[in-house]
Amino acid sequence: MLVVMANRSKKAGKSNRPPRIRVPNNEKALFTVDAKKFVGVLRRLSLTGGSAVLTSGPIPEGTMAEMDLGTVFGKVTAQIEFMHSGADGMPTAQAFRFIDMDDVSSRRFSAAAKQMEKAGFSDAEEKGNPLGNLASQTFSKLRNSIGNLSGMITPGSPDKS
C-alpha cells in the first residue's frame, strides 16, 4: 500500500501535501463504479490523489471506485474515492483520493510520478535557477494551452474503416 495514504495527518495551518503533477498528453484512465466503466482524462496527480475530467459527468462525492492507469512502468490499479467537482479551477474536473493500491501498482505509480516531476510537470518549488524554472513553467503552460486548443479545434473524427 502506498505509504503516504496510511500516514496522512491533519495539522492546523498550512498543509504539507505532496507536489501535484500536471499530467501531459491528455492521458486517460479507466474508472469503474458499481461495474460500470467510463473513461476520464487525467488533469493532475499526486501521491495522494488527483483530478480528472470524466466522460460520465460528475460522480457523487464519497463514491468509491477503481481506477486503472497505464504508465511507462506498467498498469497501475488503485481504489479511489471521488471528491468535489471543480478541481483545479476547472468546473468539469473532479478530484479523487487514493484509498488503496497494491505494492506493485504503488511502485509503478511512484516511479511514473518521479519521472513526470523530473520532466518539469510538478508544481513543487525547485531550488536552483529561478529564471530557468520560470522559463520551463512558461513553456509547459504554453504547450498545455496549445494542446487544449488543438483538442477544441480538431473534433474527434469518426473511424473510417
- Chain centroid to CA 69: how far? 10
> At 31, is the pLDDT very low, low, confident or very high (cuts 50, 70, 90)?
very high
Q: Which amino acid, 121?
A: F
The 10s digit of each residue's pLDDT in 138-152 is 656 666 666 666 555
Domains of the chain plus CATH, in order, are 3-8+15-147 (2.40.10.220)
The 10s digit of each residue's pLDDT in 98-130 is 999 999 999 999 998 888 888 888 876 544 444
The 10s digit of each residue's pLDDT in 62-77 is 999 999 999 999 999 9
**Global confidence as pTM:** 0.66
The Cα angle at residue 4 between residues 6 and 71, in degrees rounded to 5: 125
DSSP calls for 61-105? TT-EEEEEEEETTEEEEEEEEEEEESGGG-TTEEEEEEEEE-HHH
- Would you give the DSSP letter of residue 122? B
pLDDT at site 160: 46
